């Protein structure tokens, strides 16, 4: 495992485009995130190929099902050799604990983190599914459940990182998207933070897509972000 805190989000429709980008990156200077689209099109073979090239891979499939099914899926991901994977905290304590137990038994133990409330949801969306908590309250409730169930951390907005880090401790792993270096386009992200701000707020890993993947020189963009992180870490 390398010690880079940047996870490059491979939001590409196929292996060709994802591979072209990765050939421009340095596996010792970043990690990769593979999500539902790329995985559904290209499958575990692509994950294995990136791992064999030396990249740490975060498999972002957000498992949410009955405990036995989620545990089996987590074990399958661990067998692939991924560095990190995730589940939905709203699957509940038994699902979370069973997933942890499954990974404890695997020879290669990846980090297991949880998604709390999807950032696409607002208070009124929660009310519609009979959750009367505000989004903020529900995020904290699910983050505490995640920690007490034995997982390593949560995905959260960098804006939530300071509060979560204060409540749950600095060891609890915070993985944050919505990162934009100064002077880069915010694209469709609404609540953004710079890499340095996010690290200072308590983020452990930064999920960054377009500022790197759409840069004229992706490695130069990555190196600049790493330098910014190192200046505050």
What are the residues binding ligand C5P (CB under 6 A)? Answer: 9, 11, 35, 119, 177-178, 187, 189, 207-210
* Nearest distance, CB of residue 214 and ligand C5P, angstroms: 8
Nearer to ligand C5P, 10 or 103 (CB): 10
- Token digits for 106? 């695997």
Nearer to ligand C5P, 68 or 186 (CB): 186
Q: Please, how many CA atoms are within 13 Å of residue 198, restricted to the half-sphere of its CB?
A: 31
Closest-approach residue to ligand C5P (CB): 209
Q: Give, to the nearest 10 degrees, the angle between helix 135-148 and helix 93-104.
A: 40
CA distances to 177, 180, 192 from 187, in Å? 13, 9, 10
* Nearest distance, CB of residue 68 and ligand C5P, angstroms: 27
For residue 71, the surrounding DSSP H or E stretch is helix 67-80
Nearer to ligand C5P, 119 or 146 (CB): 119
Three-state SS at 24: helix
* Nearest distance, CB of residue 11 and ligand C5P, angstroms: 5
Nearer to ligand C5P, 71 or 152 (CB): 152
| Contact (CB, 8 A) for 182 and 194 | yes
| Contact (CB, 8 A) for 175 and 204 | yes
* Nearest distance, CB of residue 172 and ligand C5P, angstroms: 18
Q: Which of 16, 24, 33, 62 is labelled catalytic?
A: 62
Where do we find the tokens 């545990």? 71
Told to judge if 62 belongs to the known catalytic residues of this protein, a careful annotator would answer yes
Q: So which residues are the catalytic ones? A: 62
């Amino acid at each position: 495992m390398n010690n880079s805190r940047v996870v490059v989000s491979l939001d590409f429709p196929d292996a060709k485009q994802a591979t072209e980008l990765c050939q421009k990156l340095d596996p010792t200077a970043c990690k990769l995130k593979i999500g539902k689209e790329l995985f559904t099109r290209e499958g575990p073979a692509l994950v294995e190929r990136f791992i064999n090239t030396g990249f740490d891979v975060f498999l972002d499939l957000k498992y949410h099902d009955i405990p036995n099914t989620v545990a089996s899926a987590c074990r399958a991901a661990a067998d692939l050799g991924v560095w990190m994977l995730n589940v939905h905290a709203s699957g509940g304590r038994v699902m979370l604990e069973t997933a942890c137990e499954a990974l404890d038994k695997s020879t290669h133990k990846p980090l297991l983190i949880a998604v709390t409330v999807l950032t696409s949801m607002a208070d009124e969306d929660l009310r519609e599914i009979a959750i009367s908590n505000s989004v903020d309250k529900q995020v904290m409730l699910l983050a505490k459940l995640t920690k007490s169930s034995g997982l390593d951390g949560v995905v959260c907005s960098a804006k939530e990182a300071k509060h979560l880090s204060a409540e749950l401790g600095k060891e609890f792993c915070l993985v944050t998207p919505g990162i934009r270096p100064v002077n880069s386009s915010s694209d469709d992200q609404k609540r953004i933070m710079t890499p340095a701000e996010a690290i200072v707020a308590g983020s452990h890993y930064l999920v960054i897509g377009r500022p790197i993947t759409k840069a004229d020189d992706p490695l130069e963009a990555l190196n600049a972000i790493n330098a910014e992180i190192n200046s505050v870490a």
